[in-house]
A and B are shown apart, each in its own frame.
Chain A
């Protein structure tokens, strides 16, 4: 953190006003521990900082690696490679519904065990190199071709190596820290409680994009983690600021609510009644108004949760979008985007879901170019600080939580 005299010393904090639209210092007042200072840009370009994130955050935290939508059948598996940790994980769901991740590594000579992305669960996972087979139920080494040729003192040490695994509402998390003592429930804390009863089962994953980008993972996350940019950035953004996101009399968006939830946080936005959709938007929706009725128990049409360390879980009208922002190098990231909608039951609903997706996808495409441009600017080191305003409070909270986690704070 850079220590600069940025706080005007004569200005008294003003509390939230009735409608919250014109209140200044609303979030600085509500969360004084977050401060109002600029943050250092070093954290986006430093190899040392990236190494610390690898060792102190990703190797020691619960990380979301998928959801029940990744299983093609009731008993099934998928493979998740986590580049920042240098691991490949075989995530298995057995007939009883239990989910367990293992290192996707054969105990014989270290071959990557399963090369497919996903599939129905076999009885035995067989290595393609020499055919060693592992029971799907528990990862135990079940069969070795030409077994008498080997010298074993204790074959039970050759079972697949399990990884701490747990699930919450269909989302699958792993923790690579075998010595860690915080369970998933504790890690999710108030966020887990807030969304404990959310009807996630109403939504299916309809689209997934894995977008490579030359930017630090936190640049991508920060860029998405505010709605300040919505009236300014680009055409679809500006279009949505015409009411899909509420704007005040000056045309600026406003965070409606913001809550710190342990390691996580959430902000929401209202919408305005005067939003005028495009001709096709209006015409398409008019053919099937029932599909547009909100089916999710949301108080506002937009809610954006950051799930520490690298996940976003957000709702926008009848959809849920999640981001898993995967660091690969200090300036290389894969932005994994998942779009969930109520499952279309007929072809007209298929069209309406496609419309929601196309518009949102174009919105993200507008955002994505900015991520790489941001990284160029940060790398230039023209500036060594990054200033954040009231409407960017969730960005501030994220960096605060990140620093805390590196200091050993776990909730």
Chain B
């Protein structure tokens, strides 16, 4: 399987009221592989700032996502979801490890779901 990931987006459509998240377009990534790669290659301070910005608005973001069924997702909602999934990906790194990698752990890149793209 290829380990290269496409270049992250620079602008993304987002739902009304969440346009401010556009500054984090690079985190609207498609799939676990890309998100793990971003977690591992982004300086922890940058991840921390991203995490903190999203955390502050979690109630509003999740309230919106609660109203989005999993089928037939609009492009804007998909981008919002992707940004949230990246926020989840870096949360452990920021909150528990205070670094990007799992310390003394295996390579996180081994843990990419083989179901990716089928779910």
Tell me if A354 and B110 are in contact (CB < 8 A): no
Residues of A within 8 A of B55 (CB): 279-280, 283
Q: How far is the CA of A212 from the CA of B51 in the complex (A)?
A: 31
Could you mark each residue 88-119 of chain B with 1 if its beta carbon is under 8 Å from any beta carbon of chain A, else 0? 11011001110000111110101111110011
Asked if B113 and A365 sit within 8 Å, CB to CB, the answer is: no
Q: Which residues of B contact A361 (CB under 8 A)?
A: 108, 111
Minimum C-beta distance from B86 to chain A (A): 10
User: At the interface, yes or no: B17 with Cβ under 8 Å from chain A?
Assistant: no
A residues within 8 A CB of B118? 72
Interface assignment of B16: CB less than 8 Å from any CB of chain A: no
C-alpha spacing A236/B105, complex, angstroms: 11
- With both beta carbons as reference points, the residue of chain B lying nearest to A283 in the complex is identified as B58
Q: A354-B85, A365-B108 are in contact. Are A284 and B70 (CB under 8 A)?
A: no
Interface window among B3-11, B18-26, B61-69: B61-69
Specify which of A345, A347, A364 is in contact with B73 (CB 8 Å cutoff).
A347
User: A14 on the interface (CB 8 Å rule)?
Assistant: no
| SS class, residues of chain B in contact with chain A | helix
**Contact between chains at A212 and B110 (CB < 8 Å):** yes
Q: Are A209 and B114 in contact (CB under 8 A)?
A: yes
Q: Are B96 and A211 in contact (CB under 8 A)?
A: no
Contact B114 A358 (CB under 8 A): no
Give CA–CA (A15, B119) in the complex, Å: 50
Q: Which of A212, A344, A349 has the most CB of B within 10 A?
A: A349
Q: Which residues of chain A are within 8 angstroms of B95 by Cβ–Cβ distance?
A: 278-280
Q: Are B92 and A368 in contact (CB under 8 A)?
A: no
What total of chain B residues lie within 8 Å of the partner, measured CB to CB?
A: 40
Q: A212 — which chain B residues lie within 8 A by C-beta?
A: 110
Minimal Cβ-Cβ distance residue in B for A278:
B95
Convert A169-213 into 0s and 1s, putting 1 for each residue whose CB lies closer than 8 angstroms to a CB of B.
000000000000000000000000000000000000111111111
Determine whether the beta carbon of A205 is less than 8 Å from that of B110: no
Residue A149 at the chain B interface, CB threshold 8 Å: no
- A362 CB–B CB distance under 8 Å: yes
Contact of A348 with B66 at beta-carbon distance under 8 Å, contacts A209-B111, A283-B59 already known: yes
For the complex, count residues of A whose C-beta is within 8 A of B: 43
- With A234-B105, A364-B111 in contact, do A278 and B81 touch (Cβ < 8 Å)? no
In the bound complex, do residue A288 and residue B62 qualify as a contact, i.e. CB atoms below 8 Å apart?
yes
Q: A159 in the interface, Cβ–Cβ < 8 Å?
A: no
Given contacts A288-B62, A347-B81, contact A211 B70 (CB under 8 A): no
Contact with B along A143-166 (1 / 0, CB 8 A): 000000000000000000000000
Which residues of B come within 8 Å of A, CB atoms? 51, 55, 58-59, 62-63, 65-70, 73, 77, 80-81, 84-85, 87-89, 91-92, 95-97, 102-106, 108, 110-115, 118-119
Question: Chain A interface (Cβ within 8 Å of chain B)?
Answer: 72, 205-213, 234-236, 239, 278-281, 283-284, 286-288, 344-351, 354-355, 358-359, 361-362, 364-366, 368-369, 372
> What are 28 of the A-B contact pairs (CB < 8 Å)?
A72-B118, A206-B115, A210-B114, A211-B110, A212-B110, A234-B102, A234-B105, A235-B96, A239-B96, A279-B95, A280-B55, A280-B58, A280-B88, A345-B70, A346-B68, A348-B62, A349-B70, A350-B70, A350-B81, A350-B85, A351-B84, A354-B85, A361-B108, A362-B96, A364-B111, A365-B108, A368-B110, A372-B106
6 new A-B contacts at CB < 8 Å, known A286-B59, A361-B108? A280-B87, A280-B88, A280-B95, A287-B59, A358-B89, A368-B106
